[in-house]
Structure 1
């Protein structure tokens, strides 16, 4: 079992954020020790890391809550549950991820253009510093 501080170190989320996610229902309440301190399992840490990845994709907390409503579907299917049972959940998750994939592809295109421009500028600056640059006439 891991403490909230250990989970914070492993996930990059602050203890405050973990408690907030618990408060708004994004995270289930973890087990507690006799003194009330939260304890987390490895499975819960993996789930929190998944939430963190979704947040980094740009999903809102409402979308993350919707996305994770039925827990880890892959884990449930691997444990023998019928995949058909999760069709509505999978459809919603597909919808959410498809939207964000379009956003990410647009950002990637923008980054590719910025990288190209930066490389062109660097090439010009290198030529200028060597004294071999000829301005277009």
Structure 2
């Protein structure tokens, strides 16, 4: 697949895909004789994985380290697993924080509907 096709499929700009490859977030993509990137199914799985992890807020540095370790082979499996475990713990912490924020927003919205809107409507009627 060309970079344009991958870009469209994963809703990422070509610049983002080039950047991901340049910083080691995805392994180097093979090129055609003319120098055009030729994404394989494996490359696309990396793009999908990184997009998912970045969407969850996983740190770029951790993902770069994970990819570098992956490229070193099976002897790094435990180190890669440790990265994933650490990132999962951080994600769970952020999810708890987001849950508390959501609860606070819900309470504020409820109070808004109960108190602010009736007051505003009363003011409109007195005009």
TM-score band, normalised by shorter chain: 0.7 to 0.9
Distance in 2 separating the partners of 1:55 and 1:24: 14
Structure 1 unaligned residues grouped into runs of 5+: 72-80, 132-137
RMSD: 2.8
TM-score by length of 2: 0.76
Distance in 2 separating the partners of 1:88 and 1:120: 48
Distance in 2 separating the partners of 1:8 and 1:85: 30
Aligned pairs for 1:94-109 within 5 A:
94-109=85-100
Q: Which residue of 1 aligns with 2:48?
A: 49
Distance in 2 separating the partners of 1:43 and 1:26: 14
Aligned pairs for 1:32-47 within 5 A:
32-47=31-46
- Aligned residue among 91, 105, 110 for 1:119: 110
Q: Which residue of 2 aligns with 1:8?
A: 7
Q: Which residue of 2 aligns with 1:65?
A: 64
Question: How many equivalent residue pairs?
Answer: 121
- Assess if the C-alpha contact under 8 Å between 1:67 and 1:96 holds in 2: no
Distance in 2 separating the partners of 1:61 and 1:90: 16
Task: Kindly indicate which of the two structures has a greater share of residues assigned to helix.
Answer: 2
Shift of 1:27: 1.5
TM-score by length of 1: 0.71
Task: Kindly indicate which of the two structures has a greater share of residues assigned to strand.
Answer: 1
Q: Which residue of 2 aligns with 1:18?
A: 17
1:70–1:112 CA distance, 2 compared to 1 (3 A): same
Distance in 2 separating the partners of 1:41 and 1:101: 33
